[in-house]
């Protein structure tokens, strides 16, 4: 849950971008964030300690930057979804040109390989429709 929601401040669509960043992290890490913490502990740590899940060292820099921007503490620094689509399209272009996206080569991501490709194709088809 985004910081502004936990603090019960006004919020908009950027809370969904924050959540999307966590989903991207799950795809890269291959696990669930904060699995050893209670929801109250997570909320407290996110608000008071700026806690975010640790991004694996083997995560490609472009994906790391995207994840970190999605879960910025400042909603105005998060991308809009149309901007996220552009970034994903760039990833799709790289996959088409290179045959892979670096993050698909890492062992933690093998379970998500098919899902990510399907998701990229689905996003692309909706955007071009």
pLDDT digits (tens, 9 = 90+) for 6-24: 778 877 888 999 999 999 9
Nearest alpha carbon to residue 103 among 88, 84, 125: 88
**For position 22, what pLDDT does the model report?**
93
Give the model's confidence band at 1: pLDDT under 50 very low, under 70 low, under 90 confident, else very high: confident
Distance between CA atoms of 126 and 61, rounded to whole angstroms? Answer: 27
Tell me: pLDDT of 121 over 70.
Answer: no
Which whole number is the average pLDDT over 95-118?
54
Q: Give domain limits for the chain.
A: 3-128
Quote the pLDDT of residue 76: 92
Count Cβ atoms below 10 Å from residue 20 Cβ, excluding itself. Answer: 18
Q: At what angle do helices 113-128 and 81-98 cross, to 10 degrees?
A: 120
Q: For residue 88, what is the enclosing H or E element?
A: helix 81-98
- Residue 14, Cβ neighbours under 10 Å: how many? 20
User: Helix, strand, or coil here: 16?
Assistant: helix
The string of pLDDT tens digits covering residues 31-60 is 889 999 998 999 999 889 989 999 998 887
| Tokens linked to 102 | 């670096």
Position with higher pLDDT, 91 vs 113: 91
Look up residue 98 and give its two tokens. Answer: 């290179």
> In whole numbers, what is the pLDDT of the chain averaged over residues?
79
The DSSP symbol for 101 reads -
Tell me the C-alpha distance between 51 and 80, whole Å. 22
Which CATH code is given to the segment(s) 3-128?
1.10.510.10
pLDDT band at 129 (very low <50, low <70, confident <90, very high): low
pLDDT of residue 63: 84
């Amino acid at each position: 849950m985004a910081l502004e929601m936990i603090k019960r401040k006004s919020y908009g669509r950027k809370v969904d971008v924050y959540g999307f960043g966590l989903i991207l992290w799950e795809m890269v890490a291959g696990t669930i964030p904060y699995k050893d913490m209670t929801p109250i502990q997570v909320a407290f740590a996110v608000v008071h300690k700026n806690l975010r899940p640790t991004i694996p060292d083997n995560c490609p820099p472009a994906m790391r930057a995207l994840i970190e921007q999605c879960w910025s503490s400042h909603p105005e620094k998060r991308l809009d979804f149309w901007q996220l689509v552009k970034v994903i399209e760039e990833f799709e272009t790289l996959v088409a040109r290179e045959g892979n996206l670096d993050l698909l080569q890492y062992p933690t991501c093998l379970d998500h390989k098919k899902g990510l490709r399907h998701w990229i194709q689905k996003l692309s088809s909706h955007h071009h429709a």
